[in-house]
Amino acid sequence: MDLDVFVTAHRAEWDRLDQLLRRGGRLTGAEVDELVALYQRTATHLSLVQSSAPDPAVVGRLTQLVARARAAVTGTRRAGWRDAARFLTAGFPAAVYRSRHWWVPTALLSTLLAAVIGWWISVHPEVQSSIAAPDVLRQMTEPGGEYETYYSSHPAASFAAQVWTNNAQAAAMCLVLGAFLCLPVIWILFTNVLNLGVGIGLMSSAGRLDTFLGLILPHGLLELTAVFVAAGTGLRLGWTLIDPGPLSRRAALARQGRAAIGMAIGLALVLFISGAIEGFVTPSGLQTWARIAIGVAAEVAFLVYVYVVGGRAARAGEAGDVDTTERTAELPVAA
């Protein structure tokens, strides 16, 4: 695209839009219609310039014009309870549902890897001895040892808050660092899987795998699912840099980034629930089957929320992105 020719052809439209915006609310009905039409055309011009000839001066002027026109056309609005309800009943579950092809394989492969690591550690005493000295391992795995007392070592409320903070930070890191070509996400995910595998292996070698699973499953099912969703979304965000699809790389990354930000908020709520279970249910005096049943119920409720509520919203066109009036126009690019 010849930028000089493009600017010459459309400068009059941009000047007219600027003139209408400067008049504020003193517009006739016909002028309001003209402002809306010019706003839409200018947004398209901005997208074309960004994708074909991103001159800073032209992009800066058009960005300012589009932002001012959007404010004039849509008006200013504040997020309210209706926005929060829409996010929880449509935006967040639809975003998780749409990314299922990323986080479900991530969950399956991670679980398999944790099981393999646990088996490998449990059948190789030399690997166990490389982890810690024999007396330290006994202190960790024996009845009343560190694996058991960990969940009751602090008051339930403060422990739940600490767990939620740590897990929310891990999930947020997976979502944010996905833009770095997926590598940091893979490392964070592997670290979590390795810790789980070590616990499985050590407790299994001590003949207490049932105790370990009774401690980890009540909160771990929902907690790990949230981590897998975050990791899968981060991997999807990183892959967008490699293969943006029909959109420009900037537009595709912006779309996935906005969805990831919303995902971080939703997953923080999910991890708050799993943290509460870990702080109050896991160390409680309930029977093992009752604690596991609570964890399974929480996990099933989340999956129903994603696949039923989120699936319905996704099929209706919800993508977990901001409203179309709050983002710039996106145009496909040539393959």
Last residue of a domain, one of 41, 74, 107: 74
In a domain, 233, yes or no: yes
Higher pLDDT, 22 or 104: 104
Q: Which domain holds residue 29?
A: 3-74
In a domain, 115, yes or no: yes
In a domain, 203, yes or no: yes
Angle at 145 between CA 160 and CA 274, to 5 degrees: 20
Name the burial class of residue 311, with classes exposed (0-12), middle (13-18) and buried (19+) by CB atoms within 10 angstroms of its CB.
middle
Give the list of residues 6+ apart from residue 163 with CB closer than 8 angstroms, or none: 274, 275, 278, 279
Alpha carbons 133 and 81: distance in angstroms, whole number = 55
Tens-digit pLDDT profile for residues 89-136: 988 999 999 999 999 999 999 999 999 999 999 999 999 989 888 888
Check residue 256 and give its pLDDT: 74
Q: What is the mean pLDDT of residues 70-99?
A: 79
Q: What is the mean pLDDT of residues 265-269?
A: 88
Q: 320 with 262: CB under 8 angstroms?
A: yes
Q: What is the mean pLDDT of residues 79-92?
A: 80
Tally the domains of the chain. Answer: 2
Could you give the 3-state DSSP secondary structure of residue 198? helix
Q: Do 7 and 126 fall within a single domain?
A: no
In a domain, 333, yes or no: no
Q: Do 54 and 162 fall within a single domain?
A: no
Q: Do 12 and 36 fall within a single domain?
A: yes
Check residue 75 and give its pLDDT: 62
Question: Among the listed ranges 54-68, 186-200, 257-271, 310-324, which one has the minimum average pLDDT value?
Answer: 310-324
Last residue of a domain, one of 74, 108, 129: 74
Alpha carbons 272 and 291: distance in angstroms, whole number = 17
Q: Do 55 and 98 fall within a single domain?
A: no
In a domain, 162, yes or no: yes
H runs (alpha helix) in the chain: 3-22, 29-52, 56-74, 81-86, 92-98, 100-122, 125-131, 134-141, 146-149, 156-177, 183-205, 209-242, 249-276, 288-304, 311-315
Residue 165 pLDDT more than 60?
Answer: yes
Check residue 321 and give its pLDDT: 61
Tens-digit pLDDT profile for residues 229-264: 998 888 888 888 778 777 777 777 777 777 777 888
Check residue 333 and give its pLDDT: 45
Q: Do 51 and 171 fall within a single domain?
A: no
Most confident of 23-37, 150-164, 304-318: 304-318
Q: Do 109 and 181 fall within a single domain?
A: yes
Tens-digit pLDDT profile for residues 27-73: 787 888 888 889 889 988 988 887 777 788 888 888 888 888 888 77
In a domain, 334, yes or no: no
Check residue 139 and give its pLDDT: 86
Amino acid letter for position 182: C
Last residue of a domain, one of 74, 105, 127: 74
Q: Do 88 and 68 fall within a single domain?
A: no
In a domain, 48, yes or no: yes
Please provide the average confidence, as pLDDT, over all residues in the chain: 83
Residue 329 pLDDT more than 70?
Answer: no
Q: Do 51 and 92 fall within a single domain?
A: no
In a domain, 331, yes or no: no
Residue 25 pLDDT more than 70?
Answer: no
Q: Do 112 and 218 fall within a single domain?
A: yes
Q: Do 52 and 94 fall within a single domain?
A: no
- Residues above pLDDT 70, as percent of the chain: 87
Total-model pTM: 0.69
Check residue 162 and give its pLDDT: 64
Q: Do 271 and 163 fall within a single domain?
A: yes
Q: Do 225 and 256 fall within a single domain?
A: yes
